[in-house]
């Protein structure tokens, strides 16, 4: 069985939803189809939440009216029959009356915000399921809130998903298409929660892993993973094959096409991931798998570059590091205690520099580090530039080509040798575009 995920841009217009119906039923195989919210909806719902948090009920209601008008028009164009329009309208009316009910709950808390933001996927999947019914497709809507759950550390409970799907899917063997929501889940308190922005990719991968799918396909608005960020660099091109490790590095370090955690469940269960373009379904896209055996792919030294913004660098000094063991352990225990992942690390004899992207607990972390280290002022607004490729120890000249390309850009930290597939550098955020363009020119131009 395949799991296919369609992102916001792929479901954002009635004609796109219609073309997805053709795509998913084209080959007569059974699929689980994971949908995101229509493009713009999640941001729209969050904006309503911001107004409610600020006690601006008029502002919230005006935004709700505008969003509802968008859906009313969408329905008018999506369905051909009265029965289709009625089913679509009923779903929209129900969900918007729930959204309005949230505006009456005071104060507007995080719990309500999560219920509000889940409405995007609840709407898109109901509209699509009603469209499939109108079209006579044998399909059903499987509620993600009944099989997707995160634990107290916000980690998905894949075994729960595995068990629940093993119970639920056999009840629908007569259906070719099983539609479900990306992004949304429940937390240990049973409340509605989510897998963070862009999380529908992750949902698809978790489902794909849980059912040991033959393939997970992520359908979006571009022909696969490009070698650089196409929003910032001209002349990028699709990378046809990536290993799980390479794709995981790119996703984690900022390639927006994939949610950072997407690769983890796919790799765990050995399920290949294919990135495809809804606007150009015949294009080959990118295949992500355990090994890529194509000679062209494995011989290539540099494969792709990505950038992760909003990074903070901490500079930690000790006068006693000389020959000291246990110093790094003490430092990392503090990051562990405050559940703050470290992305990059550089050490010298008496100092350690690390980067973090979550600064929620930075005050507690620095206070505790200060009890046995001296700290410089953190550097905020940094960017990690991540280069992925085949950097095995025998490959000479990798660093010289990277640093030659970066010769006009100040580099604050370097990480090389952690894996054979990643070389990362930390630069101030203002150099991001310059660095991505310089690397494109230096590493990929022929
Ligand atoms: N390396 C990259 N390769 C391809 N797309 C990228 C890359 N980096 C950033 N992107 C951006 O990711 C976008 C697709 O991701 P996203 O907006 O999350 O899609 P969806 O709405 O389908 O989930 C592309 O339109 C592109 O601008
Ligand atoms: N709708 C959610 C989840 C998601 O994955 O969206 P998309 O597939 O459009 O990136 C968001 O906007 O974050």
pLDDT in tens, 248-296: 999 999 888 888 899 999 999 999 999 999 999 999 999 999 876 654 4
- What average pLDDT does range 361-387 have in this prediction? 93
Q: Please report the pLDDT score of residue 14 as a whole number.
A: 97
Going by alpha carbons, the residue nearest to atom 18 of ligand 1 is 257
Q: Which ligand is nearest to the CA of 204?
A: 2
- What average pLDDT does range 355-373 have in this prediction? 93
CB of 200 closer than 6 A to ligand 2?
yes
pTM of the model: 0.91
Cβ–Cβ under 8 Å, residues 208 and 265: yes
Residues of the chain with CATH 3.40.1160.10: 2-220
Residue keyed to tokens 């969050």 = 46
- 9-36 pLDDT, tens digit per residue, is 999 999 999 999 999 999 889 999 999 9
CB of 8 closer than 6 A to ligand 1?
yes
Side-chain half-sphere CA neighbours of 366 within 13 A: 18
Going by alpha carbons, the residue nearest to atom 13 of ligand 2 is 197
CB of 59 closer than 6 A to ligand 1?
no
Torsion 157-158-161-162 (CA) sign? negative
Residues of the chain with CATH 3.30.2130.10: 304-444
- 430-442 pLDDT, tens digit per residue, is 999 999 999 999 9
Q: Please report the pLDDT score of residue 54 as a whole number.
A: 94
| Of 22, 186, 33, 32, the residue nearest 115 (C-alpha) | 186
Question: Coil, strand or helix: which one is 65?
Answer: helix
- Which burial class, exposed, middle or buried, applies to 346 when counting CB atoms under 10 A from its CB (0-12, 13-18, 19+)? middle
CB of 37 closer than 6 A to ligand 2?
yes
Q: Cα(41) to centroid of ligand 2, in Å?
A: 9
304-444 is classed CATH 3.30.420.40: no
Going by alpha carbons, the residue nearest to atom 17 of ligand 1 is 257
Q: Please report the pLDDT score of residue 395 as a whole number.
A: 76
- Which burial class, exposed, middle or buried, applies to 5 when counting CB atoms under 10 A from its CB (0-12, 13-18, 19+)? buried
As a CATH number, domain 2-220 is 3.40.1160.10
Q: Please report the pLDDT score of residue 293 as a whole number.
A: 60
Q: Which ligand is nearest to the CA of 42?
A: 2
Is 80 exceeded by the pLDDT of residue 73? yes
- What average pLDDT does range 60-83 have in this prediction? 96
CB of 181 closer than 6 A to ligand 2?
no
Residue 353 CB partners (closer than 8 Å, separation 6+): 313, 314, 315, 316, 344, 345, 346, 347, 413
- What average pLDDT does range 337-347 have in this prediction? 92
Q: Please report the pLDDT score of residue 71 as a whole number.
A: 97
Q: Please report the pLDDT score of residue 326 as a whole number.
A: 80
Q: Residue 93 and residue 362: Cα distance in Å, rounded? A: 44
Going by alpha carbons, the residue nearest to atom 4 of ligand 2 is 198
Q: Cα(83) to centroid of ligand 1, in Å?
A: 36
Q: Residue 62 and residue 277: Cα distance in Å, rounded? A: 35
- What average pLDDT does range 139-153 have in this prediction? 97
Task: Band the pLDDT of 60: cuts 50, 70, 90.
Answer: very high
Q: Residue 134 and residue 399: Cα distance in Å, rounded? A: 58
Distances (CA, A) of 106 to 53, 55, 114, 191: 9, 9, 15, 18
Atom of ligand 2 nearest to the CA of 201: 5
Report the share of the chain in percent with pLDDT over 70: 97
Of 392 and 261, which is predicted with more confidence?
261
Q: Which ligand is nearest to the CA of 221?
A: 1
Cβ–Cβ under 8 Å, residues 413 and 344: yes
Q: Please report the pLDDT score of residue 347 as a whole number.
A: 87
Q: Please report the pLDDT score of residue 351 as a whole number.
A: 87
Q: Residue 376 and residue 370: Cα distance in Å, rounded? A: 10
As a whole number of Å, the end-to-end CA separation of the chain is 41
Note the ipTM here: 0.97
| Of 280, 285, 298, 305, the residue nearest 388 (C-alpha) | 305
Beta strands 351-356 and 184-186, pairing class: unpaired
CB of 44 closer than 6 A to ligand 2?
no
- 98-136 pLDDT, tens digit per residue, is 999 999 998 999 999 999 999 999 999 999 999 999 999
Atom of ligand 2 nearest to the CA of 9: 9
Is 70 exceeded by the pLDDT of residue 321? no
Q: Which of 257, 275, 278 to mutate to test the pocket of ligand 1 (most atoms within 8 A of CB)?
A: 257
């Amino acid at each position: 069985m395949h799991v296919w995920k369609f992102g916001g841009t792929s479901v954002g217009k009635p004609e796109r939803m219609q073309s997805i119906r053709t795509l998913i039923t084209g080959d007569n195989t059974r699929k689980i189809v994971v949908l995101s919210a229509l493009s713009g909806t999640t941001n729209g719902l969050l904006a309503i939440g911001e107004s409610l948090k600020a006690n601006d009920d008029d502002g919230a209601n005006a935004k709700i009216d505008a969003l509802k008008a968008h859906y009313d028009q969408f329905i008018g164009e999506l369905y051909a029959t009265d029965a289709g329009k009625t089913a679509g309208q009923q779903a929209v009316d129900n969900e918007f009356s729930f959204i309005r009910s949230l505006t009456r709950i005071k104060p507007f808390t995080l719990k309500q915000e999560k219920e509000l933001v889940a409405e995007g996927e609840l709407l898109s999947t109901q509209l699509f399921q009603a469209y499939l019914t109108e079209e006579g497709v044998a399909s059903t809507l499987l509620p993600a809130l009944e099989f997707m759950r995160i634990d107290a550390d916000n980690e998905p409970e894949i075994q729960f998903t595995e068990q629940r799907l093993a119970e639920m899917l056999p009840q629908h063997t007569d259906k070719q298409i099983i539609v479900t929501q990306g992004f949304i889940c429940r937390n240990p308190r049973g409340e509605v929660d989510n897998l963070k922005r862009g999380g529908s990719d992750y949902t698809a991968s978790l489902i794909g892993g849980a059912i040991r799918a033959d393939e997970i396909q992520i359908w979006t608005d571009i022909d696969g993973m490009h070698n650089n960020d196409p929003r910032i660099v001209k002349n990028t091109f699709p990378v046809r094959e990536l290993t799980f490790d390479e794709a995981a590095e790119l996703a984690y370090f900022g390639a927006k096409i994939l949610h950072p955690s997407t690769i983890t469940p796919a790799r765990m269960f050995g399920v290949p991931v294919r990135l495809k373009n809804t606007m150009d379904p015949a294009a080959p896209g990118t295949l992500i798998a355990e090994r890529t055996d194509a000679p062209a792919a494995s011989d290539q030294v540099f494969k792709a570059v990505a950038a992760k913004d909003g990074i903070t660098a901490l500079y930690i000094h000790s006068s006693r590091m000389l020959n000291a063991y246990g110093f790094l352990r003490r430092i990392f225990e503090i990051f562990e205690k405050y559940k703050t992942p470290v992305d990059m690390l550089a050490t010298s004899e008496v100092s350690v520099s690390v980067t973090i992207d979550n600064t929620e607990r930075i005050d507690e972390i620095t206070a505790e580090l200060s009890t046995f280290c001296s700290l410089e002022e953190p550097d905020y607004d940094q960017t990690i530039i991540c280069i992925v490729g085949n950097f095995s120890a025998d490959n000479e000249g990798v660093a010289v080509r990277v640093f030659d390309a970066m010769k006009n850009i100040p580099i604050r930290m370097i990480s090389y040798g952690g894996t054979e597939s990643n070389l990362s550098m930390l630069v101030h955020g203002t150099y991001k575009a310059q660095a991505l363009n310089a690397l494109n020119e230096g590493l990929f131009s022929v």
